[in-house]
Amino acid sequence: MEDKYQQFEKRFGISFKNRGLLEQAFTHRSYINENKNSGLEHNERLEFLGDAVLELITTEFLYDKFPEVSEGILTAYRSALVRTETISRVARKMGMNELLKLSKGEARDEGKARDYILANTFEAFLGALHLDQGYEVTKRIVADLLFQEIEDIIETGSWKDSKSRVQEYAQEAYKETPRYEILSATGPDHDKHFTVAVYFGDKEIARGEGKSKQQAQQDAAKNALEKEGVFENK
pLDDT of residue 209 exceeding 90 = yes
Task: State the Cα–Cα distance between residues 142 and 156, nearest whole angstrom.
Answer: 22
Query: Cβ contacts of residue 206 below 8 Å, gap of 6+?
Result: 197, 198, 220, 221, 223, 224, 226, 227
Per-chain mean pLDDT for the chain: 89
- Which residue among 155, 186, 205 closes a domain? 155
Convert the pLDDT of each residue in 35-86 to its tens digit: 888 888 999 999 999 999 999 999 999 999 999 988 888 888 998 899 888 9
Q: Fill in the DSSP letter of residue 101.
A: B
Task: State the Cα–Cα distance between residues 80 and 149, nearest whole angstrom.
Answer: 9
Do residues 223 and 169 share a domain?
Answer: yes
- Which residue among 155, 180, 203 closes a domain? 155
User: What are φ and ψ of residue 197, in 5° steps?
Assistant: -110, 145
Neighbours of 98 (CB within 10 A): 11
Do residues 60 and 10 share a domain?
Answer: yes
Task: State the Cα–Cα distance between residues 13 and 184, nearest whole angstrom.
Answer: 42
Stretch among 63-67, 145-149, 170-174, 222-226 having the lowest mean pLDDT: 170-174
Region 81-106: mean pLDDT is 91
Which H or E run contains 194? strand 193-200
Do residues 115 and 220 share a domain?
Answer: no
Predicted confidence band of residue 231 (pLDDT cuts 50, 70, 90)? low
Task: State the Cα–Cα distance between residues 207 and 202, nearest whole angstrom.
Answer: 14
- Does residue 234 lie within any of the structural domains? no
- Does residue 178 lie within any of the structural domains? yes
Strand partners, 101: 27
Do residues 151 and 171 share a domain?
Answer: no
pLDDT of residue 123 exceeding 50 = yes
pLDDT of residue 114 exceeding 70 = yes
Which of 189 and 193 is assigned the larger pLDDT?
Answer: 193
Do residues 139 and 174 share a domain?
Answer: no
Neighbours of 70 (CB within 10 A): 9
Do residues 70 and 96 share a domain?
Answer: yes
List C-alpha distances in Å: 211 to 97, 132, 197: 20, 27, 15
pLDDT of residue 155 exceeding 90 = no
Task: State the Cα–Cα distance between residues 24 and 43, nearest whole angstrom.
Answer: 6
Q: Out of 44, 123, 132, 219, which one is annotated catalytic?
A: 123
Do residues 16 and 117 share a domain?
Answer: yes
List C-alpha distances in Å: 187 to 184, 190, 192, 233: 10, 8, 5, 35
- Does residue 210 lie within any of the structural domains? yes
- Which residue among 124, 155, 186 closes a domain? 155
Predicted confidence band of residue 233 (pLDDT cuts 50, 70, 90)? very low
Do residues 20 and 132 share a domain?
Answer: yes
Residue 169, domain extent:
162-228
- Residue 1 has what pLDDT? 52
Query: Cβ contacts of residue 82 below 8 Å, gap of 6+?
Result: 54, 55, 58
User: What are φ and ψ of residue 27, in 5° steps?
Assistant: -100, 110
Stated pTM of the model: 0.73
Do residues 110 and 171 share a domain?
Answer: no
pLDDT of residue 97 exceeding 60 = yes
Q: Is 109 a catalytic residue?
A: no
Q: Is 51 a catalytic residue?
A: yes
Find out whether 217 and 196 touch, Cβ atoms under 8 Å: yes
pLDDT of residue 173 exceeding 80 = yes
Region 152-168: mean pLDDT is 81
Q: Out of 9, 51, 161, 228, which one is annotated catalytic?
A: 51
Alpha-carbon dihedral 215, 216, 220, 222, rounded to 10 degrees: 20
Do residues 167 and 145 share a domain?
Answer: no
Do residues 10 and 47 share a domain?
Answer: yes
- Does residue 233 lie within any of the structural domains? no
Do residues 83 and 105 share a domain?
Answer: yes
